[in-house]
Amino acid sequence: MEIERKFVLEAPPDGLASHDSQHFEQGYLAIDPAGAEVRVRRKDGTVSVMTVKTGMGLVRGEEEWEIEPAHFDALWPLTGDRRVVKTRYFVPLDGDLVAEVDVYEGELDGLVTAEVEFPDEATALAFEAPAWMGRDVTEDKRYGNRVLAVDGIPA
Protein backbone atom coordinates (compact mmCIF):
# COMPACT_ATOMS: atom_id res chain seq x y z
CA MET A 1 0.00 0.00 0.00
CA GLU A 2 1.02 3.55 -0.70
CA ILE A 3 -0.01 6.26 1.76
CA GLU A 4 0.73 9.75 0.49
CA ARG A 5 -0.50 13.32 0.39
CA LYS A 6 -0.11 15.63 -2.60
CA PHE A 7 0.26 19.41 -2.72
CA VAL A 8 0.29 22.06 -5.47
CA LEU A 9 3.04 24.65 -5.09
CA GLU A 10 2.87 28.23 -6.30
CA ALA A 11 6.52 27.95 -7.36
CA PRO A 12 9.51 25.68 -6.75
CA PRO A 13 11.03 26.23 -3.30
CA ASP A 14 14.33 28.08 -2.99
CA GLY A 15 17.39 25.90 -3.42
CA LEU A 16 15.50 23.08 -5.15
CA ALA A 17 18.31 22.39 -7.63
CA SER A 18 20.68 21.56 -4.75
CA HIS A 19 18.69 18.39 -3.91
CA ASP A 20 19.03 14.96 -5.49
CA SER A 21 16.74 14.50 -8.48
CA GLN A 22 15.55 12.08 -11.15
CA HIS A 23 14.06 12.75 -14.57
CA PHE A 24 10.90 10.74 -15.34
CA GLU A 25 9.13 9.91 -18.56
CA GLN A 26 5.92 8.06 -17.79
CA GLY A 27 3.04 6.97 -19.93
CA TYR A 28 -0.25 5.27 -19.19
CA LEU A 29 -1.18 2.02 -20.92
CA ALA A 30 -4.56 1.64 -19.20
CA ILE A 31 -6.65 3.97 -17.06
CA ASP A 32 -9.81 2.78 -15.31
CA PRO A 33 -12.25 5.47 -14.08
CA ALA A 34 -12.60 3.54 -10.79
CA GLY A 35 -8.93 4.24 -10.00
CA ALA A 36 -6.83 1.44 -11.46
CA GLU A 37 -3.97 2.31 -13.81
CA VAL A 38 -1.10 0.62 -15.59
CA ARG A 39 1.91 2.75 -16.49
CA VAL A 40 5.47 2.51 -17.69
CA ARG A 41 8.18 4.86 -16.46
CA ARG A 42 11.78 5.49 -17.44
CA LYS A 43 14.01 7.06 -14.77
CA ASP A 44 16.98 9.16 -15.89
CA GLY A 45 16.82 7.50 -19.30
CA THR A 46 18.13 4.20 -17.95
CA VAL A 47 15.91 2.31 -15.46
CA SER A 48 12.47 1.26 -16.71
CA VAL A 49 9.58 0.06 -14.54
CA MET A 50 5.97 -0.98 -14.93
CA THR A 51 3.52 0.01 -12.22
CA VAL A 52 -0.04 -1.04 -11.44
CA LYS A 53 -1.97 1.16 -9.01
CA THR A 54 -5.46 0.71 -7.60
CA GLY A 55 -7.71 3.17 -5.81
CA MET A 56 -7.45 6.93 -5.46
CA GLY A 57 -6.78 9.40 -2.66
CA LEU A 58 -4.73 8.97 0.51
CA VAL A 59 -4.30 5.17 0.47
CA ARG A 60 -3.73 3.22 -2.75
CA GLY A 61 -2.54 -0.20 -3.81
CA GLU A 62 0.72 -0.21 -5.76
CA GLU A 63 2.86 -2.91 -7.39
CA GLU A 64 5.99 -2.00 -9.32
CA TRP A 65 8.70 -4.02 -11.04
CA GLU A 66 11.65 -3.32 -13.29
CA ILE A 67 11.33 -4.10 -17.00
CA GLU A 68 13.94 -4.39 -19.73
CA PRO A 69 14.63 -1.19 -21.70
CA ALA A 70 13.46 -2.98 -24.86
CA HIS A 71 10.08 -3.65 -23.21
CA PHE A 72 9.76 0.03 -22.29
CA ASP A 73 10.61 1.02 -25.87
CA ALA A 74 7.96 -1.39 -27.21
CA LEU A 75 5.27 -0.18 -24.77
CA TRP A 76 5.99 3.58 -24.93
CA PRO A 77 4.24 4.14 -28.29
CA LEU A 78 1.10 2.52 -26.83
CA THR A 79 0.83 5.34 -24.26
CA GLY A 80 -0.04 7.79 -27.07
CA ASP A 81 -0.96 11.17 -25.63
CA ARG A 82 -1.25 9.88 -22.05
CA ARG A 83 2.20 10.98 -20.89
CA VAL A 84 3.90 13.01 -18.17
CA VAL A 85 7.49 14.25 -18.22
CA LYS A 86 8.94 15.74 -15.05
CA THR A 87 11.98 16.15 -12.86
CA ARG A 88 11.53 14.96 -9.28
CA TYR A 89 13.58 16.52 -6.48
CA PHE A 90 13.92 14.82 -3.10
CA VAL A 91 13.60 17.43 -0.31
CA PRO A 92 14.14 16.22 3.28
CA LEU A 93 11.46 17.16 5.82
CA ASP A 94 11.23 16.85 9.60
CA GLY A 95 10.42 13.43 11.02
CA ASP A 96 12.51 11.51 8.45
CA LEU A 97 9.98 12.35 5.74
CA VAL A 98 10.80 13.42 2.18
CA ALA A 99 8.90 15.75 -0.12
CA GLU A 100 9.10 14.56 -3.72
CA VAL A 101 8.82 17.85 -5.61
CA ASP A 102 7.83 17.37 -9.25
CA VAL A 103 8.55 20.09 -11.81
CA TYR A 104 6.61 19.23 -14.96
CA GLU A 105 7.63 19.79 -18.58
CA GLY A 106 5.93 19.92 -21.95
CA GLU A 107 2.14 20.35 -21.88
CA LEU A 108 2.28 20.58 -18.08
CA ASP A 109 5.07 23.19 -17.96
CA GLY A 110 4.59 25.54 -15.01
CA LEU A 111 2.97 22.95 -12.74
CA VAL A 112 4.87 22.09 -9.56
CA THR A 113 3.61 19.51 -7.06
CA ALA A 114 4.95 17.77 -3.98
CA GLU A 115 4.08 14.34 -2.64
CA VAL A 116 4.96 12.98 0.79
CA GLU A 117 4.76 9.24 1.56
CA PHE A 118 3.93 8.14 5.08
CA PRO A 119 4.41 4.94 7.08
CA ASP A 120 0.75 4.92 8.19
CA GLU A 121 -2.52 6.84 7.91
CA ALA A 122 -2.24 8.43 11.36
CA THR A 123 1.09 10.04 10.45
CA ALA A 124 -0.33 11.21 7.13
CA LEU A 125 -3.36 12.81 8.76
CA ALA A 126 -1.26 14.49 11.47
CA PHE A 127 1.26 15.92 8.99
CA GLU A 128 1.49 19.72 8.92
CA ALA A 129 3.01 20.77 5.62
CA PRO A 130 5.54 23.60 5.47
CA ALA A 131 4.05 26.79 3.99
CA TRP A 132 6.06 26.41 0.76
CA MET A 133 4.16 23.23 -0.09
CA GLY A 134 1.00 25.18 -0.87
CA ARG A 135 -2.45 23.66 -1.21
CA ASP A 136 -3.32 20.04 -0.31
CA VAL A 137 -4.86 18.31 -3.35
CA THR A 138 -4.69 14.73 -2.09
CA GLU A 139 -8.41 14.17 -2.68
CA ASP A 140 -8.61 16.27 -5.87
CA LYS A 141 -8.59 13.71 -8.70
CA ARG A 142 -7.65 16.40 -11.23
CA TYR A 143 -4.08 16.45 -9.86
CA GLY A 144 -3.41 12.74 -10.19
CA ASN A 145 -0.68 12.14 -12.78
CA ARG A 146 -3.00 9.91 -14.78
CA VAL A 147 -5.56 12.74 -15.09
CA LEU A 148 -2.86 15.34 -15.76
CA ALA A 149 -1.54 13.11 -18.57
CA VAL A 150 -4.96 13.08 -20.26
CA ASP A 151 -6.60 16.40 -19.31
CA GLY A 152 -3.67 18.73 -18.64
CA ILE A 153 -3.38 21.35 -15.87
CA PRO A 154 -6.72 21.91 -14.08
CA ALA A 155 -8.35 25.28 -14.76
| Catalytic center residues | 28
Q: Where are the beta strands (DSSP E) in the chain?
A: 2-8, 21-31, 37-43, 47-54, 59-67, 83-93, 97-104, 112-117, 135-136
Q: How far is CA 64 from CA 37, 76, 95, 99, 133, in A?
A: 12, 17, 26, 20, 27
